[in-house]
Structure 1
């Protein structure tokens, strides 16, 4: 059997796995992805990408394509409840309008959200977005093999040996990779083989995800909604909008302890029941597919074992009610890709890879806890999500930070933490461990954001009086053989900041600087120019690179 050798083997071809392939190619690293299914998802599954993930796709030039894929779902806002659709709309009409103080608060929250990112969330569903990711992965040279399953693997001090099988013709292949990523979803074969234990509450409920075709345009046009809680004597469920026209998904719990099984609820059952549920007895209903799923909230105790890493649902299982499953997985692999690249290129020591677990595992834990708070005992969304005022809660404070994808701060060897730093303070104000503050600038006549600058390299962003940093950065980059770019942000700087807003936004003096990692997170903050900037910068980078 001929052995193929690759730097990184990716197991799993969902949103996280495909994104990993793209990010690695973006950093100049070859990968091979195997996925046991024959194609990308044919089921909508996730229905959106948060602002942080859209920043990552913006970096890849995919922002426009993903926004286009989600344009039909974009108007879907609001949460309804009622036994029929007409009753749900009537209940919504009865809800009191926010008073002037609430409106002012809501407007302030929305304005603040626009200030923290150069982009915004998108509502594309996975069945539409995954083909975009697959095309991009292939375009960038990623080796993506569907209908290929992982049979076994073992690791040693120098790499991972894996055996895979082509499910179309039964042929087997031997692969040798320097590192392996398990992004193979819930019930991950990679996780099971590694025997890494979970933390969390585990299974909250068993549900059916029913893909429904029903033309409701005449009813919902101008009243587009996101989720509808249905409570009736014969059923309870949540209907989710997919394209606001004729495609919807219905999530309904079933109880194995009562002897109920998915096959007890065939398509004909729902096609007969749904017209009365909708309150539209003449509606034509077609069930296009039924996907049983388990509502679980749990996180692996470690996202790394030796040369093997976990990401996405393989590392942290959440319910869909917080909208954080695929989003967190994509951010996982973005965090890992640049670290793998620097280690594989010999620029950083393998110790840098240990920071993947120390940074992303706490995020996974927080996401699991938030998801649990949004999930009821039967696995459906909590009833509180459909009460008046729930939207205000979701747009404010911690919930808003979690949903936008910015609600965390890293603490690891890859961050130089400041003395007295508050681990609970996630404000994007230049503090190390947080995503670099967003500020619109002009570069060579084009509008750009500070978030856009650190794509594949370390970046030093200085204040208006930061000229001395440039010479220091040039020397240090050469000494460490590191791709390091330095920019002075000023009215006459490399990046035009006409009002000198950057020092205030970054929390530095005019001669200070932020060192930003290739993933856009602040690694180190120099409040002002040190006496020996070259030595200081070199020491910091050596520390960060392991």
Structure 2
């Protein structure tokens, strides 16, 4: 019998499965879908997540396939945060469809010995020593465990469409905003582009209904003045700004991670990243307890450390939502002012970039350590690839090039 059952084979659940196997725990992942969802909700991999991948020898796999973007937006503002000054080996975001990210993470989990079973719809808490709900905002595991999902419902709606553009913007990329709404365009490859945005017509709490292609095309025309020659829609979807967080990330032998623990407007592309970072925090702890290397009390630190991160995520995405939906003249003036500050105040730009990228996360017991170098030529992230603790007492090279 598996010692851990993970419900949900998205990026969070699959990374957790790999971490548990690396730590020596037996794990099974149960996924309701027979096949992986071809529609990629997430596209962005942030610097801190790339550092985590590096610490497991996985970064090069992602870098070989993804597109590097040297900056990021905050609330869709036209002036973008420059990631070049971030203290990381990965001063950029990486664009890669979620479906491919899941494929890579599933291959890793299976290669380490995790069992991934598709077509298994879970209706209650499975029989296992520990269960982790990575099953999204409508989490069956969260409901079965009686964990409250506190927060607010949607008051505005965004939209996205993956379509072919016969007249794309220069370089295939655009970031447009004004009183008629906001719109971002990014190429996905294979001749398909993603258009994502929001407009005043859906700035209301009522569900606007399923998005149709004529409505989508008319909305883009209204925002951008053109529909870029769009045709052949691959996927159309709406998403709201409902903002909720699980009141606890642990209830006895049940844990929550990723979207099962926090729901928010997808501003800045951070959701998948925070979910993977949840899994990274929980994985080694759960494996250490199962294999007897740590006491049960270690598991309480998962909630203590990650719940505040989730709360900060909700605050930041709410702030970005307010900016993205600021359609009034006053709202447009606020957007222009903050955008100018990002362009002219480097400290502000860097601070926002650190928050967005996950590099500023700190716990009561410590904070993220950069990729240190040792006098034998190795790097800290390389030494972490066993999943066990690493001593930095000897052989550390100081920033001035001398041994510590």
| Range of TM-score over shorter length | 0.7 to 0.9
Contact 1:300 1:315 in 2 (8 A): yes
Contact 2:11 2:272 in 1 (8 A): yes
Larger Rg: 1
* SS at structure 1 position matched to 2:25: coil
| Equivalent in the alignment of 1:74 | 69
Residues 229 and 18 (structure 1), Cα distance of their counterparts in 2 relative to 1, 3 Å cut: farther
| Equivalent in the alignment of 2:147 | 196
Q: 1:210-221 alignment to 2 at 5 Å?
A: 210-217=161-168, 219-221=169-171
| Equivalent in the alignment of 2:177 | 229
1:7 aligns with 2:3: yes
Q: 1:454 aligns with which of 366, 369, 384?
A: 384
* SS at structure 1 position matched to 2:281: helix
Q: Which structure 1 segments of 5+ residues have no match?
A: 83-91, 99-105, 154-161, 163-175, 416-432, 463-487, 491-495, 504-546
| Equivalent in the alignment of 1:173 | none
* SS at structure 1 position matched to 2:285: helix
Q: 1:6-405 alignment to 2 at 5 Å?
A: 6-71=2-67, 74=69, 110-111=84-85, 113=86, 115-117=87-89, 120-153=92-125, 162=126, 176-217=127-168, 219-221=169-171, 224-225=173-174, 227-229=175-177, 231-232=179-180, 236-243=181-188, 246-252=192-198, 255=202, 261-263=208-210, 265-271=211-217, 274=220, 278-280=224-226, 283-376=229-322, 388-389=339-340, 391-392=342-343, 396-405=349-358
Contact 2:124 2:140 in 1 (8 A): no
* SS at structure 2 position matched to 1:37: coil
Distance across 2 between alignment mates of 1:359 and 1:79: 25
| Equivalent in the alignment of 1:534 | none
Distance across 2 between alignment mates of 1:300 and 1:47: 25
| Equivalent in the alignment of 2:369 | 436
TM-score (normalised: structure 2): 0.84
TM-score (normalised: structure 1): 0.64
Residues 335 and 276 (structure 1), Cα distance of their counterparts in 2 relative to 1, 3 Å cut: closer
Q: Which structure 2 segments of 5+ residues have no match?
A: none
Q: RCO (CA 8 Å, sep 6+): is it higher in 1 or 2?
A: 2
| Equivalent in the alignment of 1:493 | none
Distance across 1 between alignment mates of 2:392 and 2:228: 62
Q: Residue 407 of structure 1: CA displacement?
A: 1.5
| Equivalent in the alignment of 1:467 | none
Q: Cα deviations across residues 203-250 of structure 1 (Å, max 9, x unaligned)?
A: 342333332222445x322x734x433643xxx343341437631133
Contact 1:489 1:497 in 2 (8 A): no
Of 118-127 and 326-335, the range deviating more from structure 2: 118-127
Distance across 2 between alignment mates of 1:403 and 1:137: 27
* SS at structure 2 position matched to 1:376: helix
Q: Residue 295 of structure 1: CA displacement?
A: 1.5
Figure out how many residues of one structure are paired with residues of the other and give that number: 394
Distance across 1 between alignment mates of 2:145 and 2:72: 41
Q: Residue 118 of structure 1: CA displacement?
A: 6.2
Residues 379 and 25 (structure 1), Cα distance of their counterparts in 2 relative to 1, 3 Å cut: farther
